[in-house]
Structure 1
Amino acid sequence: MRRPVIGITADSEEQGGGYSALPWYALRHNYCDQVTAAGGLALILPHEQETVPEVLDLIDGLLITGGAFDVDPALFGASDRHASVVLKARRTAFELALLQGALARDLPVLGICGGEQLVAVALGATLIQHIPDAVPQALAHEQPNPRTEPGHTVAIEPGTLLHRLVGPGPVAVNSAHHQAVATPGPRLVVNARAPDGVIEGIEDPGRRFCLGVQWHPEYALSPADTALFAAFVAACGESR
């Protein structure tokens, strides 16, 4: 039997700089490493919106990754934009079209960090645009220590898919975000929270596998992280 094909969205730099003076795509190895270790075939996706229908025909599941940018506040009905917000319009447009297509087909979806936020917004959530300005006594969600180490713990909500996959917690996680889900909307269930109350995970119980976490399980800091990837890839195998 062939491995399930997992479409993974890349980051991009439209102006160039760093890796190349020309525009480029990038993705850390660990996203692909975890998909491969869990039995999947990783397919990195460039941001060509006209290819979305063909991509959806190729993949068995969708992994939306994070990056140093934000969901456009206009997408969740905000009338203002915090000064800290950074947009990547082409990437967001591609990811949103791909996500909507995946949801329409009930393909398994895993959103990580900014990917979790996009999944949430696509399903009716709103976002906190800058945690330090909105959450009193907030933790350092942009942790000062390396991403290869935990930054804080999260509590796992009983009765959720995440709870069934990783156990009751608490789970030690790394943290690299300045935004988070504010209100989950009508479809979503909160499945994880940080000690300061910030929402760290969401899922749609009406779909086969639609889950997002605010931390970065691709670093595999705990058995919970590897269990999450294993369950996602297994669901993608069942979707064929």
Structure 2
Amino acid sequence: MRKLPLIGLTLDAEQPGGYSKLPWYALRQNYFSSVAEAGGLPIALPHQPELAEAYLDRIDGLLVTGGAFDVDPSLYGGGPAHPTVALKEGRTAFELAMVRGALARNMPILGICGGEQLLAVALGGTLIQHIPDSVPDALAHEQPNPRTEPGHEVAITGGTLLASIVGGTRMAVNSAHHQAVATPGPDAVVNAVAPDGIIEGIESIRHRFALGVQWHPEYAVDRADQRILDGFVVACHG
């Protein structure tokens, strides 16, 4: 039997209240199940930046998950923080250490939603801090309907890694973000765009698999969503 590649998934961090009176980690089950369905062995990664290299020594691929928080604008020269910006500095410090370490090793990376934005920043890109204040007539990127349904479509850029994985030119996607990638970085390209021009996906041109999507393929809203997880896990086989 072929060995299952070990896929590290980053966790979200919550303050005391709800599940526990102490700080706690959280992650939706469909992140793990979608990786398992793709043939990976998912494990959770607690936020210990000093252990990043030890984690990277053991895992075969890194999945950076989303969350209701933002990357510190100081990390990409974004100027003063917009009033809507919410930080989780400990989580970002850990994820940035993991992403930079994975890029240095040419380890496969999949960034989802906020994970895509962090990947763009690690690749030298910049972010839009608040779409409604920056993009006239933008779509509702914080979709009002359930996340299990599509919010809008994206156009897939031909000739990209994403295009080769999904095998089409358009996808229906769910949408849960108020920020977006403004520029992908000098060694990255845009691989998906919303009808209003918002960047919905980026990928590195220097690494074998460093891919980010703004939507949440773990929900399998489009039949091509699982192909993204499948392609990522295949790359993690080496």
Normalised-by-shorter TM-score class: over 0.9
Match of 2:83 in 1: 83
> Residues 128 and 134 of structure 1 are in contact (CA less than 8 Å); yes or no, is this contact kept in structure 2?
yes
> Residues 157 and 168 of structure 1 are in contact (CA less than 8 Å); yes or no, is this contact kept in structure 2?
no
Paired AA for residue 10 in structure 1: L
Worse overlay, 160-169 or 139-148: 160-169
Paired AA for residue 113 in structure 2: C
Paired AA for residue 161 in structure 2: L
CA distance in 1, matches of 2:123, 2:187: 7
Match of 1:2 in 2: 3
Query: Is 2:105 the counterpart of 1:109?
Result: no
CA distance in 2, matches of 1:81, 1:65: 22
- State the secondary structure of the residue aligned to 2:42: strand
TM-score, scaled relative to structure 2: 0.98
> Residues 149 and 221 of structure 2 are in contact (CA less than 8 Å); yes or no, is this contact kept in structure 1?
yes
Matching of residues 41-52 of structure 1 within 5 Å:
41-52=41-52
Paired AA for residue 179 in structure 2: Q
> Residues 70 and 85 of structure 1 are in contact (CA less than 8 Å); yes or no, is this contact kept in structure 2?
yes
CA distance in 1, matches of 2:203, 2:115: 13
Match of 2:180 in 1: 180
CA distance in 2, matches of 1:37, 1:90: 30
Query: How far 1:176 moved relative to its partner?
Result: 0.2
Aligned residues: CA RMSD: 0.7
CA distance in 1, matches of 2:177, 2:79: 22
TM-score, scaled relative to structure 1: 0.97
> Percent same amino acid among aligned pairs?
67
Match of 1:202 in 2: 202
Match of 1:11 in 2: 12
Query: How far 1:4 moved relative to its partner?
Result: 0.1
After the TM superposition, list the runs of 4 or more consecutive aligned residues in structure 1 that deviate by more than 6 angstroms: none
Query: How far 1:167 moved relative to its partner?
Result: 2.0
Match of 2:123 in 1: 123
> Residues 184 and 190 of structure 1 are in contact (CA less than 8 Å); yes or no, is this contact kept in structure 2?
yes
> Residues 158 and 169 of structure 2 are in contact (CA less than 8 Å); yes or no, is this contact kept in structure 1?
no
Query: How far 1:169 moved relative to its partner?
Result: 2.8
Paired AA for residue 207 in structure 2: R
Matching of residues 120-199 of structure 1 within 5 Å:
120-199=120-199
Match of 1:220 in 2: 220
Q: Per-residue CA shift, 1:71-117, capped at 9, x if unaligned?
A: 00000012211000000000000000011111100000000000000
5+ long unaligned stretches in structure 2:
none
Query: How far 1:206 moved relative to its partner?
Result: 1.6
> Residues 56 and 101 of structure 2 are in contact (CA less than 8 Å); yes or no, is this contact kept in structure 1?
yes
Match of 1:35 in 2: 35
- State the secondary structure of the residue aligned to 1:231: helix
Paired AA for residue 33 in structure 2: D
Query: Is 2:232 the counterpart of 1:232?
Result: yes
> Residues 202 and 213 of structure 2 are in contact (CA less than 8 Å); yes or no, is this contact kept in structure 1?
yes
Paired AA for residue 45 in structure 1: L
